[in-house]
Amino acid sequence: MQISADTHVRLARPSRDLAAAERFWADGLGLDVLHRGAAQGPGEHDLVMLGRPGAGWHLELVGGASLTVDPRPTEEDLFVLYLDGPVDDRLVARLERAGGTRVSAGPYWDRWGITFADPDGYRLVLCTRTWSND
């Protein structure tokens, strides 16, 4: 087994309120709901998977009555999207209407984008820069 550029990535996070989190990530940011499931038995969680069809990544949010872990985001828990240009004001307004709160992520990220906290406090950075792995 080798990790490659085609390796699929899942970012999983607990959520206190899946409906509120889904509203932020789907209605606000515009991600697609790839899958939604309800707990089927003990030890299972309700979940929603968000992303883009065919992409090599997705965001999985888990919650529900059997969730035993509260979200514990820190200021460094960043989900960064490199937009290669200015952030659209309509996107900012949608994220705010969908429960996002604008926050500061420090001088670097404040210079290069806009940061939102989702309903659970996890941070989304809309970066105006282009991704580079140099």
Strands 78-82 and 113-117 turn out to be unpaired
- At residue 131 the predicted structure's pLDDT band, cuts being 50, 70 and 90, is confident
Arithmetic mean of pLDDT, 93-102: 98
In angstroms, rounded to a whole number, what is the distance separating the alpha carbons of residues 131 and 50?
21
Q: Indicate whether this model's pTM tops 0.95.
A: no
Q: Go through the domains of the chain in sequence order and give each one's CATH number.
A: 9-63 (3.10.180.10), 78-127 (3.10.180.10)
Of 132 and 71, the structure prediction assigns the larger pLDDT to 71
Q: Among positive and negative, which fits the CA dihedral 27, 31, 34, 36?
A: negative
Q: Which tokens is 59 given?
A: 């965001």
Q: What is the mean pLDDT of residues 28-49?
A: 92
Report the alpha-carbon distance of residue 63 to residue 46 in Å, rounded. 5
Chain segment 20-38, per-residue pLDDT in tens: 999 999 999 999 999 999 9
Confidence class for position 1, pLDDT limits 50, 70, 90: confident
Higher per-residue pLDDT: 40 or 101: 101
